[in-house]
Structure 1
Amino acid sequence: MASAPTSAALYATVISSAQVTGAEPKDAKELKHHLKHGKGFQNPWDSYKNTVGPTTILDIAWRYFTGQGRWPDTTPPTVPVHKPTFLPTRDSSALRATWLGHACYYIEFPGGLRVLFDPVFTPRCSPFTFMGPKRYTDIPCEISNIPYIDAVVISHNHYDHMSHPTIMNIKKKHPNVHFFVPLGNKTWFLKCGIHNVTELDWWESRDIKLTVMDHASKPTSTDVSVMGDGERKVNEAGGPKTIVATIGCLPCQHTSARGPFDRNHTLWASWSVESCGKKVWFAGDTGYRTVPRLPTGSDDYDPKLQLPYCPAFTQIGTLRGPFDLGLIPIGAYEPRYIMSSMHANPVDSVNIFVDTKCRRALGMHWGTWVLTEEDVLEPPRILKTALRAKDIPETGVFDVCDIGESKEFDA
């Protein structure tokens, strides 16, 4: 579907300037994830240990020199890619999710809200066009093919989640879209000439009000402004349809950086979006535990190890759940002693699913770029095994889908 000029008379989105109060942990205001004597942020849990440093590159090089490391085979066929089909109007009654590769999902909420998560529509996830991880599966569509984007939600600033060319293209095609980012990232957007951006800290939320003047019309971007306190309006009979949604910034266990000298200067986050009775949790990019170096073939869930896990997910489930749908990473996890603090493997992912009280889930963060050593088709296989171990059905609860495929969730 081709992009068309926006008509503010057709609909408008308004962002509340007042924080929406939601349940939060008792110690949330202590801001333990903020560095006390410097710029930046940290993971404040025993489940996180820094496994990336100057020795990591040498360690990885040694793995390949000694034959321990491996390059996954990306020879086709791998993950099927389909041209996605988006709803042509805002008239929708079911929650609908379309996977657009890696961590990018497009969510069509019942009632009309449309949200895009972590979009990267470039051949490489890199600051360079000529080097860095290259896609082994195709980009399923272009930004211009997406008829509505009301909000773009960014989990953190790594290049496989926050792409400058993609964001600028979104701004061009949907000039009134509003971006939601974790604390510290707003400056980057302002430098890019993007002012429709709201940055939030963990456990903070904002309201969106979407007023659709002609529900069957086909505008392609939102008209965003700031709504002051007390401006939420009630629909009059026969008047325009108003959709109210809440977007919340929540914790996850990860890191941030755009270059060699800004590690953890900006925050990382998971997100919740609630609209018209449906609630989605987007995990972003996250670890669950930190697994030490173990002998090959060891079970890193052996109770004898007594590895602490991140408590934030249980807090999210208890205080902000349950969720109708969770979007949860399942890939980029080997070798575990390097990647586990930052990236969940499918066993971790199932535990995160249970902790956050998601009723259904879809996997992400796989099938697009080679970032780590596991086979490119391994994550969904391990996911089924992990679900079976938890007495959760292998299908119909926590699933995967093809790139470009859409799934609907009625219940």
Structure 2
Amino acid sequence: MAQSQKDSPLINKDHHDGNGFRNPWASFTDQGFINTVKAIGGMRLSNVVKQAREEDFPEKVDVDWELLRNNTTDKDGKVVVTWLGHACALVQINGYNVLFDPIFSCRCSPVQFAGPKRYTETPCDFEDLPTIDAVVISHNHYDHLDLGTIQLLAKKNSNTRFFVPLGNKDCPRWFMSNIHCSPEDAVRIHEDVRSKHSIGIHWGTFALTDEPVEEPPKLLKLALEKRGHSNDDFNVLKLGESYVVNSA
């Protein structure tokens, strides 16, 4: 029997209301305009960097280009992950270079004369990047979808494939919890997806909330200890550091 459009599994999903995608979980709450203004107005982002000590910033190392160059010819499934700051990571697998949420601009903003500015430099220049085969964008916040970087990538290699989520649209913990996960949430996700190894990102680059610069990795360490995990299960890389995951 032919399946009607109404009964199609592609349409009748909890996370799709007919016009777009939404969060299906009962814990999600749309904060609305007033709470959004209240949350943003209560943040003192400029103080985050001013109050930080030098040792609070993520340690920076030179990118191991020899490792990365050699790995582009590796077809045995070995994965190499290199953290390039914030949520940007270069992942090499089966000889392919995949870049996640690339941002090489000075500010995460639609304009470069205003908006949150980097307090840590990128571990490499854009020109240093190898040929990128694929770019994966998680969502279209300015700190994940940087138009300037995307334009440079498209210009550098016209064969680069871009992967973005369908319906790509569109603080304090009470406000951010619906759209961002805390270090403790990240550990639960690590458990839920049965990850063999996870790497913490999305910190140490831009002052986008009023949390101290050094707080995320500290909270991650506490959450891991609380739930009986070690740094071998879930760790944080230095800026520019690569982590090798063997296929065996």
**One-letter code aligned to 1:137:** T
1:114 paired residue number? 97
Aligned residues: 232
Q: Distance in 2 between matches of 1:76 and 1:175?
A: 40
Deviating 4+ runs (over 4 angstroms): none
Aligned to 2:62: 83
Aligned partners of 1:51 and 1:337 also within 8 Å:
no
Partner Cα separation in structure 2 for residue 32 and residue 382 of structure 1: 32
TM value normalised by structure 2? 0.85
The percentage of counterpart residues that share the same residue type is: 42
Alignment partner, residue 353 of structure 1: 190
Residue 48 of structure 1: which of 24, 28, 34 is its match? 28
DSSP 3-state at the match of 1:88: helix
Q: Which runs of 5+ in 2 are unaligned?
A: 1-8
Aligned to 1:407: 243
Q: What residue is the counterpart of 2:12 in the other structure? A: 30
Partner residue in 1 for 2:3: none
1:95 is matched with which residue? 79
> Is it true that 1:380 corresponds to 2:217 in the alignment?
yes
Aligned pair 1:136/2:119, yes or no?
Answer: yes
Among candidates 123, 139, 144, match of residue 156 of structure 1: 139
Q: Which has the higher strand share?
A: 1
8 Å CA contact retained: 1:124, 1:134: yes
Give the SS at the match of 1:176: coil
Q: Does 1:127 align with 2:123?
A: no
The residue type equivalent to 2:12 in the other structure is E
- Output the CA distance in 1 between the equivalents of 2:202 and 2:27: 21
Q: CA 1:151–1:60 in 2, change beyond 3 Å: closer, same or farther?
A: closer
Q: Deviations over 1:116-136 (max 9, x none)?
A: 111011010000111111111
Unpaired runs of at least 5, structure 1:
1-26, 186-255, 258-333
Question: Larger C-alpha radius of gyration, 1 or 2?
Answer: 1
Could you tell me how far 1:52 is from its partner in structure 2?
A: 4.5
AA matched with 2:17: L
Amino acid at match of 1:145: D
* Pair 167,353 (structure 1): closer, same or farther in 2 beyond 3 Å: same
Deviation of 1:342 (Å): 1.2
Tell me which amino acid in the other structure corresponds to 1:160: D
**Offset from partner CA, 1:225-259 (integer Å, 9 cap, x none):** xxxxxxxxxxxxxxxxxxxxxxxxxxxxxxx33xx
Partners of 2:36 and 2:165 in 1: CA distance: 27
Higher helix share: 2
CA RMSD of aligned residues (A): 2.3
Distance of aligned partners of 1:351 and 1:28 in 2 relative to their CA distance in 1, 3 Å threshold: farther
Q: TM-score, normalised by structure 1?
A: 0.53
Aligned residue in 1 for 2:173 = 336
* Cα offset, 1:29, TM superposition: 5.1
